[in-house]
Amino acid sequence: MNARVSGAIFEEHALAHLQRAGLRLLARNFNTRFGELDLVMRDADTLVFVEVRYRRHGAFGSGAASVGASKRERLMKAAQLFLQAHPKLAALPCRFDVLAFDGEPTAPRCDWHRAAFDFDLTG
């Protein structure tokens, strides 16, 4: 299974998981020059930018741990561009979540990190 197919499969798992929890999909695979926002969801009055990660084995760390400082910075810049493109949403509080999957692709475990890292959308 190549990375693109794997990414799409786990984004589907993440979307289903989040929708079962009551979040509503606003955008999927929002592309910017800084990278892609996998999912943009609405959790009541909060805008949620979701990064989806999958690691079959934990030898190189968890999926959540793979969202390092440079990736977080790119996600924040992409979120700023999303907000510029959707000004009606810009007044909402925002958070960044990571859904990290591991294990076999047919029966993955999901670890949802709400507000996974601090951010500043003003910078």
* DSSP of 6-33: HHHHHHHHHHHHHHHTT-EEEEEEEEET
Domain harbouring 61, CATH code: 3.40.1350.10
Structurally, the chain folds into a number of domains equal to: 1
**Distance (Å) of CA 35 to CA 29, 88, 101:** 9, 22, 20
Q: How many CB atoms lie within 10 A of CB 3?
A: 8
Q: What angle do CA 34, 95, 22 make, to 5 degrees?
A: 115
Q: Evaluate whether residue 36 is within a structural domain.
A: yes
Q: Evaluate whether residue 122 is within a structural domain.
A: no
Q: Evaluate whether residue 118 is within a structural domain.
A: no
Q: Determine the structural domain holding residue 8 and report its residue range.
A: 3-113
pLDDT in tens, the chain (123 residues): 555 556 688 899 899 999 999 999 999 999 999 999 999 999 999 999 999 988 665 545 555 566 778 888 999 999 999 999 999 999 999 999 999 888 777 777 888 999 987 666 554
